[in-house]
Amino acid sequence: MRPGFYERPVLEVARDLVGCVVTHGGCSGVIVECEAYHDSEPACHAFVGLTPRTATLFGPPGRAYVYRSYGIHALLNAVCEPEGIGAAVLIRALEPVSGIAQMRARRGLERLEELCSGPGKLTQALGIGLEHNGSDLSGGSIVISERPASWREVQVALDVRVGITKAVELPWRFCAAGSRFLSRRVRLAKAV
DNA sequence: CATGGGATTGACT
DNA sequence: GTCAATCCCATGC
């Protein structure tokens, strides 16, 4: 991504990440769903302040924050905003583009729509794990790159975030409108 | 040091 | 629809 892309308000970054491409482990996909988290609201891990767990979130922008969810899944975030502010965008779903045979092997599934349609699914499909926490998202093994030409004009729909119990009303979920590869349907369908 | 709670998924009723 | 799996870590005694 261009310099400074992640060092902006996390809501702007989340909106702009829809349509961008995530590549790792010989596989890639277009981001069709993501969510913003910020230390000012209680659904964000960084809400509790600087701890060993949240250190990555408060660190420099443009790094990966990868953590274990429910003891089982690794979830991938892109750290945003200037260092010292705890904010990140959770990558929640991809439209598979390349390395699809390897994704199927890693997931043990055939159906294209089920390979990356959830935050834990896409990390499994791409082979992303906790060891990637803190890695650079431009020069590291995980790379996020600009929207391909065909995604330049993507329509982004807003919705409330999935799976949280605090600050549930904030419409900080960003989806590619009409995509078949979302983790769940959009309810608000408010466009940005 | 013990406890409790998840930014989920897949299997099962 | 319901529910268990499973681990990291924040919190509180």
Amino acid whose CA is nearest the C1' of C11: A48
CA distance A169 to A51: 26
CA atoms within 13 A on the CB side of A152: 3
**Chain centroid to CA A94:** 9
Q: Give me the average pLDDT of each 10-residue run along chain A (192 residues).
A: 97 98 97 98 96 97 97 97 98 98 96 97 98 96 98 96 95 96 88 71
- Strand B positions with any atom < 7 Å from protein CB? 5-10
Which pLDDT does position A17 carry in this prediction?
98
CA of A162 to C1' of B6 (A): 13
- Residues 96-135 in A having a C-beta less than 7 A from any atom of strand C are 130
Q: Which residues of A108-136 are buried (b: 16+ CB within 10 A; e: fewer)?
A: eeeeeeebbbbbbbbbbbbbbeeebbebe
Nearest nucleotide to A162, CA against C1' atoms: B7
Nearest residue to A94 via CA among A164, A38, A142 = A142
Which pLDDT does position A187 carry in this prediction?
84
A69 touches strand C (CB under 7 A): no
Enumerate domains of chain A plus CATH numbers: 10-191 (3.10.300.10)
Dihedrals φ, ψ of A122, to 5°?
-70, -30
- Strand C positions with any atom < 7 Å from protein CB? 5-11
Amino acid whose CA is nearest the C1' of C4: A70
